[in-house]
Structure 1
């Protein structure tokens, strides 16, 4: 995937709720359709970042919607996209949107944002895991290419004056599976570091340089485990695993954003990162939210996508799929509470309306 879906960045007054008429219309559509629900199964697989939220959604939805079963799987975004393309699942969960080339080959596929998430950069640095080290794109690119090898390298020390950095080799850990987290992380490296963009670029899979000691891990759970068990390591993890990172007592970096500020990930900074780009989301909703230049914006932010076909096997499956996806995005305190449990934020009004329109195109 090589296209960079980036746009000018106007400011947005962030709203968590869309207009009342639209909410009522969506709720009426879903409620009225319940009487026609048939016994059937919807299958979902893909993003390990989105998986904890999907399991929460499915548990709540199937308890209140008898006759509908939804299976879930944590196989990685790349696998989710591919299985949606081949019709093996109705929903491919992905942190990455499909490329222009893939969309031309599969015009029946849509990329529907359901929520907004982020990635964190984490490390296991003995004695310093409670310190929020400052890191930027060029330093991270240098670590993953092997140009920066030690924790006390001048480039890292310059960003962290007064921190007693150890003279010890860094162990960079990357995702070994096709991952939307890799897509977002490598976008950050590409957008902030021209040398990375011209050499590696971004995608769900990257030809990672052979850095001495580097290692691959499968899934976000695998990344957390690899970081915890490997002193001196550094990696990137989906924000839905924030609680697991805290349990593992791993460090979290403050990352330099497009405005030159070092920002930690939290609800406010993720919201600021998405708010600066939300109004520019196109009708097909394939847009990078990475490295926004707005003040206070965390730079590793992304839409969480349902990759689905508008041409389902039958009308009953299409109707059930529409109802479920509309339910996941309808604004309510309950749905926002589901998002809070995994440190996600709701779609802004403009994106919510676009997602609703795309979902309605499923037949």
Structure 2
């Protein structure tokens, strides 16, 4: 395993999951009249956050909430700058960001998946298999046509078109880019000229220049750009996979560590989470990308709430803590009725306990 991979998984040291007492979620939440909670950030979690806001209005109608889909990079930056009370991100803060901003908590509030969407008119209704190394080849320009040997070898018997591939990537600082570039890095880490050794990963990346490439803003923008561009490929948050399906796109089956090609389903996302969540450290900054396990879908992640420990006043702090506790409660925001329609899964019990402990630090 490369030093890059070890740093991403073990950066704060291995801490086994421990049994801790769950913080009791208030059944009757004390209303905080006139309190406003502003959220911005991840476009992946935005559909879920909108559903949470609507549902929470019935729990505590005195709390006014707003949400913005501005990208994970903006979510982190605005939380640090105290421009919002909650910044959401698909990516945890980097080591440098965390050291420079020790007052910001990285709190997992749900688990999501990322998809790879393809616009191949000739293959509508059929399966397509892709791997991390092949996607790295596409996004580096080494693989330029859909019928190229590396793709054909993964899809025997499939008639692939001899047409130029159009790679689409995010234009803004994005947690989706962080997850996707981690997958490209980790899945071919032992190759000398691998993505990890040449480009690496992050919410932004020094993307290789590829003829015909396109950029898009937000997950909705990714779906729209891939949908209107025949022979395009792009990475899209799982909460938008229904939109992608309605647009006629193909959700690619992705190769995991065990060489199995899987689609993102509740079972495969849960299997991947079960493999890596026990390694989650106290500060909860951990990648879940490319988990081992025969049934593990390789592109999953924690969705984070970035929150300052110290708030402007006690009323605001209590309102934020109450809301986040509700979000991760199985009787609240983590009920299947809220998570399943937008393709999220709830935190495992041990991780919910860790998140609750972090939430108690908000004051």
Asked if these proteins are the same fold (TM beyond 0.5), I'd say: yes
Structure 2 residue 148 is matched with structure 1 residue 150: no
- Which has the higher mean CA deviation after the structures are superposed, 59-68 or 237-246? 59-68
- Aligned runs of 1:133-144 on 2, under 5 Å? 133-144=128-139
| Residue 186 of structure 2 is aligned to residue 191 of structure 1 | yes
**Structure 2 spans left out of the alignment, 5+ residues:** none
Distance, in Å, in 2 between the alignment partners of 1:52 and 1:269 is 21
Q: Quote the residue 1:111 is aligned against.
A: 106
Encode CA deviations 1:173-193: one digit per residue, 9 max, x unaligned: 001111111100000001012
Match of 2:8 among 5, 14, 18: 5
For 1:203 and 1:147, the matched residues in 2 are separated by 21
CA–CA separation in structure 2 for the residues paired with 1:324 and 1:224? 31
Task: Determine if contact 2:16/2:279 at 8 Å carries over to the other structure.
Answer: no
Question: In the TM superposition, what are the counterparts of 1:185-334 in structure 2 within 5 Å?
Answer: 185-194=180-189, 195-332=194-331
| 1:119-164 CA distance string (max 9 Å, x none) | 0001000121322211111100000000000000010011111100
Q: Deviations over 1:286-306 (max 9, x none)?
A: 010000111110000000000
Give the match's secondary structure for 2:298: coil
Contact 1:138 1:192 in 2 (8 A): yes
1:64 Cα deviation from its structure 2 partner: 2.5
Q: Give the C-alpha shift of residue 50 in structure 1.
A: 0.3
* Residue 169 of structure 2 corresponds to residue 170 of structure 1: no
Distance 2:124 2:98 in 1: 42
Contact 1:9–1:277 under 8 Å retained in 2: no
Give the match's secondary structure for 1:34.
coil
When residues 10 and 93 of structure 1 are mapped into structure 2, their CA distance, relative to the original with a 3 A threshold, is closer
> What does the per-residue CA deviation read over 1:276-323, in whole Å, with 9 as the maximum and x for residues that have no partner?
011111110001000011111000000000011001111111010000
CA contact (8 A) 1:103 1:109 kept: yes
**Alpha carbons of 1:164 and 1:72: their partners in 2 closer, same or farther (altered >3 Å)?**
same
Offset at residue 212 of structure 1 (A) = 0.7
| CA deviations over 1:300-358 (Å, ceiling 9, x no partner) | 00000001100111111101000000000012387222111111000001110000000
* Alignment check: 8 A CA contact 2:16 2:281 kept: no
Aligned to 1:31: 27
Q: Indicate the residue corresponding to 1:15 in structure 2.
A: none
* TM value normalised by structure 2: 0.93
Q: Does 2:119 align with 1:124? A: yes
Q: 3-state SS of the aligned residue for 2:30?
A: helix
Task: Work out the number of aligned pairs and report it.
Answer: 351
Secondary structure (helix, strand or coil) at the match of 1:259 reads: coil
Residue 347 of structure 1 corresponds to which residue in structure 2? 347
| Counterpart Cα distance in 1 of 2:187 and 2:14 | 16
Q: SS of 2:53's equivalent?
A: helix
Q: CA deviation at 1:26?
A: 2.1
- The alpha carbon displacement at 1:63 in A equals 2.7
Change (3 A) 1:9 1:276: farther
Answer whether contact 2:168 2:222 (CA < 8 A) is retained: yes
Q: Which runs of 5+ in 1 are unaligned?
A: 13-17
The Cα shift of 1:31 comes to 3.3
